[in-house]
Amino acid sequence: MNSRMTVALVLAAGASLALPAYCESAVDPKPETTNSPAVVVFMNAESEDAAKCWSGERVKEHASEGAWAMKKDFGPRKGSLSIYGGFPVWPNDLAPYGEMLLDVYNPQEKSYQLQCNFKDKYQYTHNHYYGMAAPPPWPDGRKLDPHAGHVLLEVKPGWNHLSFSFDEIFKRTGIEWHYIHHFWMWLPELEKSKEEATLYFDNLRLVRRLGEAGQLSPHWKKIELRQNDAEKLLYGFESYYEVWEWEWSGRKYLVEGPGVTEGQLGMQVNFGDLGDRKWEYGARFGVHLGAYEKDFARNVWSGWKTFRLDVFSPSDEPREVWMTFASTAADKKRTEVSRKVTLQKGANHIALPVEELVKEGLDLSNVGWFEFKPKRDSKGEFGWMVLDNLKLTKK
């Protein structure tokens, strides 16, 4: 889809669990019974504040539920009906749901193909900023469609009560329902024509799965902070919120097993590729370091002696990794300091003296960015690694 056709969904960072006021009513409550699926409203126009999350016009016409519907005109340069102010279901995790239901009224005398699109955070970032050649494979080696999760629905004249399966989209595209970034609907057949059409949308609903599959993952939990006289834990990777903060070229998973050195989980990263040998090192993958809570600032490194990170590499050959630290001084001057390390197969415990980074200009009062990029292996691939226990210590 052309970038000018989309309206970006602004996601809250994992640092805050608070919901925007207009999204509070969309939080999925626990079901009273697991014998019948619960239905959660994804969009209606009854609330003026909730309607501001969408790019359409709130009108008192053709409402299938209540008094209000969302009107959208389609055609050349008309755009799409998109979410852009606050995701209707927090925390942007659609994994507990198996189906979407929606009501669409078509006042025209002809039928159209309505395209409904989802992009996870990975797909959105790379289609817009990097033009990735292909997504990294899943842990089991599957290579899936890099394009947005989409489905085409026929919209006939009059009322249309439509539905589609999330499972079908997943099997076809490999979309990550835990990290949905963007959702929009449009009529692609009108993009290059002179024709225009108007549709009315109402009562978009999500059908939750039965039993435990319909519950939000327990990994969506508050980040556990830890700082004492000996160490300051920056990331322990026990919560989806921590994984969510890492961005750009890499599919990310919370995993158990090899590579976990702190707590119960670690973060597996399947690194992305911009194309055949386009870059020697992986595309940008890292995290913005900032204040998580008032008394816990990840960006303040003053007083700490050693930077530490545990990395598990499954490769039989040594793997070279480029790590970059960036700080911003009070005068807004940005300084980047990089280090190259070589990883052996299995567990690696990286330890870098902070004073050596300071000698090259790193300002410990505001280290705002950390980047981790592997070099291609002998097969020309980036592969995957597990990161855990990123911290600062006094020794």
Of residues 63 and 191, more confidently modeled: 63
pLDDT at 30: 38
pLDDT of the residue at 176: 81
Instruction: Provide the b/e sequence for 293-309 (b: ≥16 CB within 10 Å).
Output: eeeebbbbbeebebbbb
The pLDDT of 71-83, averaged and rounded, is 93
Residues 246-275, mean pLDDT to the nearest whole number = 85
pLDDT value at position 124? 56
Which pLDDT score, from 0 to 100, does residue 2 have?
36
Residue 135 pLDDT more than 70?
no
Q: Residue 382 — pLDDT band, cuts 50, 70, 90? A: confident
For the ranges 192-196, 276-280, 370-374, the lowest mean pLDDT is seen at 276-280
Instruction: Judge whether 84 and 53 are in contact, CB under 8 Å.
Output: yes
Q: Cα separation of 320 and 333, whole Å?
A: 29
Reported confidence tier of residue 268, pLDDT bands at 50, 70, 90: very high
Predicted pLDDT at 38: 87
Q: HEC states along 285-303?
A: EEEECCEEECCEECCCCCC
Name, in order, each residue with C-beta under 8 angstroms of 8's C-beta and a sequence gap of 6 or more.
84, 124, 182
Q: Where in the chain are all domains bearing CATH 2.60.120.430? A: 3-214, 226-393
According to the CATH classification, is domain 226-393 in 2.60.120.430? yes
| Integer CA distances (angstroms), 151 to 76, 83, 118, 242, 333, in order | 21, 17, 9, 31, 47
The rounded Cα 93 to chain-centroid distance in angstroms is 9
For the ranges 138-152, 211-225, 345-359, the maximum mean pLDDT occurs at 345-359
* pLDDT-based confidence at residue 331 (cuts at 50, 70, 90): confident
Residue indicated by tokens 């300091």:
337
Most confident of 200-204, 271-275, 282-286: 200-204
Average pLDDT over residues 70-96: 88
Rounded CA gap, 52 and 335, in Å? 40
**Where do runs of H (alpha helix) occur along 326-391?**
354-359
Average pLDDT of the segment spanning 80-109: 90
pLDDT at 179 (0 to 100): 83
What does the DSSP assignment read for 107-155? -SSS-EEEEEEEEEHHHHHHHHHT--SBPPPPTT------SPEEEEEEE
Look at residue 197 and tell me whether its pLDDT is greater than 50.
yes
Confidence of residue 308 (pLDDT cuts 50, 70, 90): very high
**What pLDDT score does 267 carry?**
95
- Res. 35: pLDDT tops 70: no
What confidence score (pLDDT) does residue 93 get?
Answer: 92
What's the pLDDT at 60?
97
Query: What mean pLDDT is reported for the chain?
Result: 83
At residue 166, the pLDDT reads: 93
Contact 11, 181 (CB under 8 A): yes
* pLDDT reported for residue 31: 37
CB 249 within 8 A of CB 272: yes
- Tell whether the model's pLDDT for residue 83 goes beyond 90: no
Tens digits of per-residue pLDDT, 50-71? 888 899 999 999 999 999 999 9
The mean pLDDT value for 193-215 works out to 94
Length of the chain: 395
Residue 349: burial class (beta carbons within 10 Å; 0-12, 13-18, 19+): exposed
Q: What CATH fold (topology level) applies to the domain 3-214?
A: Jelly Rolls (2.60.120)
Query: For residues 183, 184, 185 and 190, what is the CA-based torsion angle, rounded to 10 degrees?
Result: -140
Enumerate residues 6+ apart whose C-beta is below 8 A from 372.
269, 285, 286, 309, 321, 322, 323, 387
* Most confident of the ranges 36-45, 51-60, 315-324: 315-324
